[in-house]
A and B are shown apart, each in its own frame.
Chain A
């Protein structure tokens, strides 16, 4: 028979599958920052009447602690935030403390727990502990509000010296 086909029947193509690569990358992250609108200036209130003393305490709550952390399951399950003075010194007769408030904000994950009020000096003091993978959100209103407090030490009023006003630098570190 002289029949022919204009097109021959083809086998089903084998190209019904396509692949591509998606790489998921989660690096180790440990970042901390202190966010505020301006430098803190803690000044005891002046007495208004002769015979009265300086106010016992003065505080400031304008700074917020922001951090981001990614844990390693076997290598570093938690991190903590430490604070210490790296420049200047607290005037004689006074003490400077900082207290981190509980977390609030728009972040995600397992945030750290505040350790309460800690005195600031040249040794690292743990301010927030047991941080797991999380991020606090950025800026005031996110993270832990920091409450600085300058107090008069008991029985040391005689050591107060207005020429000892100081500019202090406080360093925050996030680490194991």
Chain B
């Protein structure tokens, strides 16, 4: 056993000597300026990352409104959805971008008259690592970016549905008297992770 260890030690020393000789033979630069030194730098870089995704157990296209036909006397019966999840990965820059937020907006289409489309990001699940963000509460979606999650530091949420922040959509028809029937209105909701 001792003999085997000795053999292995010799082999390692021999290997290191080979590397050193190779480095010397190929280095023209030096650290002391006399032309016969060598440098063996090791750069360790952490990439700048801001990635966001929306995930669901099925499709991320959802439908809200009135399920028809309903019973006489009933109003809207399909006004909530909580099937979409926000996943993100973010690496902060301590001085340049210490924190990030997730913003949401309606990037195409308009909410029909008599209603508002609200969304709330719930608290993150325990999946992933780091300092995940906190919810800003329910917001009413418009065509302007609004923060829905804030104070994200270097973190990842885990990938997939049921990980990260659950999005709860609520179609509010409080001005019911001015609601008109209409062909389905298609809205595109855009989520952005940024400082």
Residue numbers of A with Cβ under 8 A of B are 1-10, 12-13, 15-29, 31-33, 35, 66-68, 70-73, 107-110, 132-139, 142-143
A-B contact pairs, 6 of them (CB 8 A): A2-B29, A16-B193, A19-B189, A20-B84, A24-B171, A24-B187
A contact residues around B47 at 8 Å (CB): 7, 9-10
**A8 vs chain B, min Cβ distance (A):** 7
Q: Which residues of B117-176 are within 8 A (CB) of A?
A: 117, 169, 171, 173-174, 176
Q: Is the CB of A18 within 8 A of B73?
A: no
**B91 vs chain A, min Cβ distance (A):** 10
Partner of A68 from the list B23, B60, B70, B192 (CB cut-off 8 Å) is: B70
Q: Is the CB of B65 within 8 A of A135?
A: no
Q: Is the CB of A18 within 8 A of B52?
A: yes
B44 located at the interface, meaning its Cβ lies under 8 Å from any Cβ of chain A in the complex: yes
A contact residues around B173 at 8 Å (CB): 108
Partner of B184 from the list A6, A8, A23, A135 (CB cut-off 8 Å) is: A23
Most buried by A among B44, B73, B115, B180: B73
Most buried by B among A4, A108, A142: A108
Count CB-based A-B contacts (< 8 Å). Answer: 205
Cβ-closest chain A residue relative to B43: A5
A contact residues around B75 at 8 Å (CB): 68, 107-109, 135
Q: Is the CB of B177 within 8 A of A139?
A: no
Cβ-closest chain B residue relative to A22: B187
Interface bracket on B: 35 or more
Q: Is the CB of A1 within 8 A of B180?
A: no
Q: How far is the CA of A5 from the CA of B112 in the complex (A)?
A: 55
Most buried by A among B61, B72, B171, B181: B72
**Given known A17-B190, A133-B179, contact A24–B41 (CB-CB < 8 A):** no
Q: Is the CB of B51 within 8 A of A15?
A: yes
Q: How far is the CA of A135 from the CA of B67 in the complex (A)?
A: 14
Partner of A29 from the list B61, B112, B115, B181 (CB cut-off 8 Å) is: B181
**Given known A1-B29, A19-B189, A109-B176, contact A66–B41 (CB-CB < 8 A):** no
Q: Is the CB of A27 within 8 A of B181?
A: yes
B contact residues around A22 at 8 Å (CB): 61-64, 117, 169, 186-189
B178 located at the interface, meaning its Cβ lies under 8 Å from any Cβ of chain A in the complex: yes
B17 located at the interface, meaning its Cβ lies under 8 Å from any Cβ of chain A in the complex: no
**B174 vs chain A, min Cβ distance (A):** 8
**Given known A2-B39, A6-B42, contact A134–B176 (CB-CB < 8 A):** yes
Q: Is the CB of A23 within 8 A of B186?
A: yes
B9 located at the interface, meaning its Cβ lies under 8 Å from any Cβ of chain A in the complex: no
Q: How far is the CA of A32 from the CA of B49 in the complex (A)?
A: 57
Question: Closest 3 interchain pairs by CB?
Answer: A3-B41, A1-B29, A66-B73
